[in-house]
Structure 1
Amino acid sequence: MYAAMKPRDGRSALRALAVALLMSTGAGVASAQNQPTVSMAINQSPWLNSFVAMVDQYEEETGNVVELDVSPFGGLLEKIRNSVRAAEGTYDIVNVNSLWLSEIYSGGFLAPLGDVEADYKLPEGVLSYGDTTNWDTSAATFSADAALMGVPVNGNVQVLYYNTDIYEQLGLQPPKTWDDLFANAQKIQEGGEYYGFVPRAARDSIVYNFTPYLFSHDAAFFRITGPKQAEVTLNSPEGLQALETYVKIATEAGPPGPGNIAQGELIQLMATGKGAQAIAVIAAWGQLEDPNASRVVGKINAALLPAGPGGLVASSAGHWVAGIPKNVAPEKQKAALAFLDWFAQKERQVDYVRAGGVPVRGDITGADLGDNTAFRFIDAYSQNAQHAVMGLPFAAAAEASDAMSLSFNRAVIGELTPVQALNQATADLAGVLERAGFTVSRLPDL
């Protein structure tokens, strides 16, 4: 039922796995039987097999069929664009990465779920990841009070990873604040055996990695002030404090060359045991627990990200939301929503975690999953997911991230002061917003 992936016998094995999982009865929209076949454009990813297992389980329980068309990450967006712009869509469900949500929502390509089924709402307990399931057309941004546009299908937020062996050796506790994190990192670094903290400060990822620091300091890249109106607030005093904290932790208690460390290098340093702490996406958990790729299996735990000076916590959202295009038949739209609603129910999300997926609910705990230590990440994931934010909630988010990343990276490697970096990044962000059609105001330079 799915393309560009595995032969049929691979899917049969996954079907066997799904049947062995906890079976549960349907609820709400998804309880309907005899739905037409629906097709879904989805990405090749570490969590794909767990999603396939859930599709198999859905088919076993309902008799309905979901066909998956699997593409590499780099090719999926183009498939989605082509399908939603056509007179008649190829896909009944499109899986949209958080970076693309603003573009797809703002284009008016998706059917609001309340139009597919009157007054439909996400099941209680499903996370909105910073209100990114809802879109305000007039303000051109996400809003909890706006139309519901999609159902999350995989959660991917940042968590704090720490090596429990190293913590125990030094008598450390998981940090509550950024100052606590830095103090732990310094104490670890003093021994000379481990890196106290591993940043992710390479240009391709620094904006995403910096976002929790910024928002936890009660700051933001910009704020929507009206329809197509924005104020760039990045270079506020709070923003400066956030960047100074980021640069200090990245440069004073970690590996040399922090400006060159991207996600792959971060995970490698943690997996080899050289890195003691890091902030990374929850999707890295599987690699750190893989005995074929990691020397620290069973020695890593996850925690809530540190809070800023006022007690605020933020985690960068990096999730996937499934939407239903407007350009498919109404009966296909209803069948698509039936599957997505079924998938979002708590019992199915527990099954999803057991199959290796990352849940999209904030109410799944270790108790729901039993005493298997492989699921010890779940509480930290749920806590961080409830604090997820979208740092750049507009259609040109990718361009804005690229524009700011150079200045932030130069601050880490010492070519710019934090003040200089913030002023330049603010100017670059304002330019992107203006080109995107916003009327822009900005704070004066620091």
Structure 2
Amino acid sequence: MRRSPLIRIPKFTRVAFAAAALLLAADAFAQKPFADVGKQPPITILTASTPWYPAFEKVVGTYEQQTGNKIKLDVVPFGGLLEKARNAVRSGQSPYDMVILDTQWTIEFYEGGFVTPLKEIDPAFGLPKEVMSYGDSGYWNAQKRWRTAEGGQLMAYTVLGNVQLLYYRADLLKQAGLSPPKTWDDVLSNCTKLTDAPKTYGFVARGERGNGIRYDWMSLMLAHKASVVKDPAGGDYTVTINSPQAKAALDQYITLLKRCGPANYGSLGQGDVIQLLATGKAAQGDVVTAAFASFEDPSKSAVVGKLETAPLPSGQGAARGAVIGNWNAVVPKNASDAQKKAALAFTRWFVTYDAQRAFAEAGGIPNRTDVYTSDLAREARFRWMPAYLETQKFAQQELGYAEGAQVEQVLGLRLNQALIGEASSGKALNAAAKEIEEIFRKNGRKTGSLPPLPE
């Protein structure tokens, strides 16, 4: 047999062919669905405009590209989301097939019967073991009126699992001869030395009335071994918010914000705290993990590559505290059966390793442990991952009972009053305890209170 003459291809052409082949292979991988969910009708998701929304939007786009299924995102300001969700689940048929709710709001929807348990949509459905439970916030035990997997139904899953981290400027600490803080006393010591107002503030956290101060202060509350109620999981709703430990935590929080923060410390919101850190005006701060991506964006930040993270510091007796502030996706009870199945199809895709990795790469906070132990954690832009994973070992849900929203309103007011000097810390906590006890009493809980603190 006559052989064909050997065609010699120039070296640079061979390299070009190889590169093109690699690109084609990569593109083919990108097009391969992370999970085969089949053809589904279009769905509409209600969500809030948050720091993590751009990452979620990008991952939804990948889902559409891979599967051909369509998703419409209705994005509303944080302050308008709850009312819109309430109206949707109480209408004849929900205009939304999935609603993404702040964790504190989910209880109202669980207890009101406005949410479809996920196994009612498909009895075979279950979350992968790698998906974190975030304090069982997706479960509801109707008998206990408490979020727990023990005897509870799976009502939701976490789209974004925020926890607070301690952000600090390693360069400023090094210049001042200071070490990264391990305790809240260290934070206070460091911030006192670093504060040079109005040029630099040593520590910033939220002080605004409402959810802001309640959420941020609770990390110190837990680190001081204090609590709101004695044992809600066991049915004992004795109010303990006015304990000496809670007062110590509040006094320390007030000292931190007054001594080391800007003059408007009593009205600082999340956007303010992020802005102070991003502009280089704050040396240390207590803020959500989801903010990290913005600190690495040159168009939004003057401190790219300069902020490091650590788990929130310890308090009395080396106790550590962090509050989980996740966002949970629920399927409305009054959505059609076909739409519920389509929403669950997206869920199956979203909780895969590949989808969660893509979410992280887009700037989101993945909900799977195996993403945090992957090669991503070794990249500089994901240097927050070890601190986040460590925090999950001790972070916990707070206010996970039916009265949680009412309790938050009380605490959000009273804590802020103590911060801005309208009441002493003892008086503010005594008032909160009295009001919270009354809330539980009206709901038939087994409750009581501690002796009042000196005012």
Aligned residues: percent identity? 38
Q: Distance in 2 between matches of 1:378 and 1:41?
A: 28
Shift of 1:436: 4.9
Counterpart selection for 1:316 from 323, 333, 344:
323
Counterpart selection for 1:173 from 160, 175, 179:
179
| SS of equivalent residue, structure 1 residue 175 | coil
| SS of equivalent residue, structure 1 residue 214 | helix
> For residue 135 of structure 2, what is the amino acid of its counterpart?
G
Contact 2:31 2:65 in 1 (8 A): no
Contact 1:159 1:280 in 2 (8 A): yes
Structure 1 residue aligned with 2:9: none
Contact 2:157 2:329 in 1 (8 A): yes
Structure 1 residue aligned with 2:268: 261
2:370 matched to 1:344? no
Aligned residue runs from structure 1 range 15-414, under 5 A? 23=30, 30-118=35-123, 120-145=125-150, 146-189=152-195, 194-204=200-210, 205-225=212-232, 230-365=237-372, 367-369=374-376, 372-414=379-421
> For residue 179 of structure 1, what is the amino acid of its counterpart?
D
> For residue 240 of structure 2, what is the amino acid of its counterpart?
T
TM-score (ref. length: structure 1): 0.86
| Pair 1:298–1:386, CA change in 2 (3 A) | same
Q: Distance in 1 between matches of 2:198 and 2:52?
A: 36
TM-score (ref. length: structure 2): 0.84
The CA deviation string for residues 375-422 of structure 1, in whole angstroms up to 9 with x for no partner, is: 222322333345433322234433322322333223223443332222
Rg larger in 1 or in 2?
Answer: 2
> For residue 80 of structure 1, what is the amino acid of its counterpart?
A
> For residue 163 of structure 2, what is the amino acid of its counterpart?
V
> For residue 350 of structure 1, what is the amino acid of its counterpart?
R
Q: Distance in 2 between matches of 1:175 and 1:149?
A: 39
Counterpart selection for 2:439 from 428, 432, 435:
432
Contact 1:101 1:395 in 2 (8 A): no
| SS of equivalent residue, structure 2 residue 318 | coil
> For residue 348 of structure 2, what is the amino acid of its counterpart?
D
> For residue 168 of structure 2, what is the amino acid of its counterpart?
Y
Q: Distance in 2 between matches of 1:219 and 1:291?
A: 40
Count of residues in correspondence between the two structures: 426
| SS of equivalent residue, structure 1 residue 165 | helix
Contact 2:198 2:262 in 1 (8 A): no
| SS of equivalent residue, structure 1 residue 96 | strand
The CA deviation string for residues 71-90 of structure 1, in whole angstroms up to 9 with x for no partner, is: 33333323322222234332
| Pair 1:234–1:20, CA change in 2 (3 A) | farther
> For residue 196 of structure 1, what is the amino acid of its counterpart?
G
| SS of equivalent residue, structure 2 residue 51 | coil
Contact 2:37 2:346 in 1 (8 A): no
Q: Distance in 2 between matches of 1:20 and 1:397?
A: 47
Structure 2 residue aligned with 1:419: 426
Q: Distance in 2 between matches of 1:63 and 1:369?
A: 28
> For residue 171 of structure 1, what is the amino acid of its counterpart?
G
> For residue 280 of structure 1, what is the amino acid of its counterpart?
V
| SS of equivalent residue, structure 1 residue 94 | strand
Contact 2:37 2:348 in 1 (8 A): no
Q: Distance in 2 between matches of 1:22 and 1:373?
A: 25
Shift of 1:191: 10
| Pair 1:228–1:325, CA change in 2 (3 A) | farther
> For residue 47 of structure 2, what is the amino acid of its counterpart?
I
Contact 1:130 1:390 in 2 (8 A): yes
Q: CA RMSD in A?
A: 2.9
Q: Distance in 1 between matches of 2:31 and 2:230?
A: 43
| Pair 1:368–1:411, CA change in 2 (3 A) | same
> For residue 117 of structure 2, what is the amino acid of its counterpart?
P
The CA deviation string for residues 309-332 of structure 1, in whole angstroms up to 9 with x for no partner, is: 243323222221111222233343
> For residue 50 of structure 1, what is the amino acid of its counterpart?
A
Q: Distance in 1 between matches of 2:415 and 2:121?
A: 43
Contact 1:80 1:94 in 2 (8 A): yes
Structure 2 residue aligned with 1:442: 449
Structure 1 spans left out of the alignment, 5+ residues: 1-18
| SS of equivalent residue, structure 1 residue 426 | helix
| SS of equivalent residue, structure 1 residue 318 | strand
| SS of equivalent residue, structure 1 residue 364 | helix
Contact 1:289 1:296 in 2 (8 A): yes
| Pair 1:364–1:183, CA change in 2 (3 A) | farther
The CA deviation string for residues 158-195 of structure 1, in whole angstroms up to 9 with x for no partner, is: 11110121022123332222222222223324899632
> For residue 31 of structure 1, what is the amino acid of its counterpart?
D
Q: Distance in 1 between matches of 2:183 and 2:31?
A: 41
Q: Distance in 1 between matches of 2:185 and 2:247?
A: 16
Shift of 1:277: 0.5
Shift of 1:260: 3.2
Structure 2 spans left out of the alignment, 5+ residues: 1-25
| Pair 1:410–1:86, CA change in 2 (3 A) | closer
| SS of equivalent residue, structure 1 residue 59 | helix
Contact 1:211 1:315 in 2 (8 A): yes
